Amino acid sequence: MDFTTVVGNDRPDVILDLERLKNNCSGNMEIVVELLRHLYQKSGPRWFSALEEGLLAENSEELREVCHAMKGASATVFAWRISNMALEFEHLARDENIQEMSNRMGELKNSFLEFEEWVKTNLE
């Protein structure tokens, strides 16, 4: 599968589309920061724990569900790079390509670290 065709123009390869998120939050930066913090402080650790468990158990359905949740939540706050990668991982899980997911888990973690660092540097 060509991932670029899956991503398309609606899912740009950017860490965060802050302007769209601010518009959705009526410009309220307190809400923006709260949403973004929740993503990297609460959701991210839960997702990565579940992914590690799913990889160990080789449970492709559990992995797909976690990646689906990650994709959606990240897209909701316009954290496109995480969402795009989670979409790709969701497809890998659907195809039961657990070894590829395991091999690339560092990429997904790095996208979260990049997002977290961006938020801390630019908004906190």
| Domain 27-118 superfamily per CATH | HPT domain (1.20.120.160)
Secondary structure, 3-state, 43-83:
HHHHHHHHHHHHHHHCCHHHHHHHHHHHHHHHHHCCCHHHH
- pLDDT at position 18: 96
What span, in angstroms and rounded, lies between the C-alpha atoms of 47 and 19?
A: 26
Nearest-angstrom CA–CA distance, 10 and 56: 34
Report pLDDT for 57: 98
Residues of the chain where predicted confidence (pLDDT) is lower than 70: 1-9
Q: What is the pTM of this model?
A: 0.87
The pLDDT value given to residue 124: 79
pLDDT of residue 4: 39
Residue 115, C-beta contacts closer than 8 angstroms, at least 6 positions apart = 15, 16, 39, 40, 79, 81, 82
- The predicted structure's pLDDT at residue 11: 75
Q: Give the start-to-end residue ranges of the domains of the chain.
A: 27-118
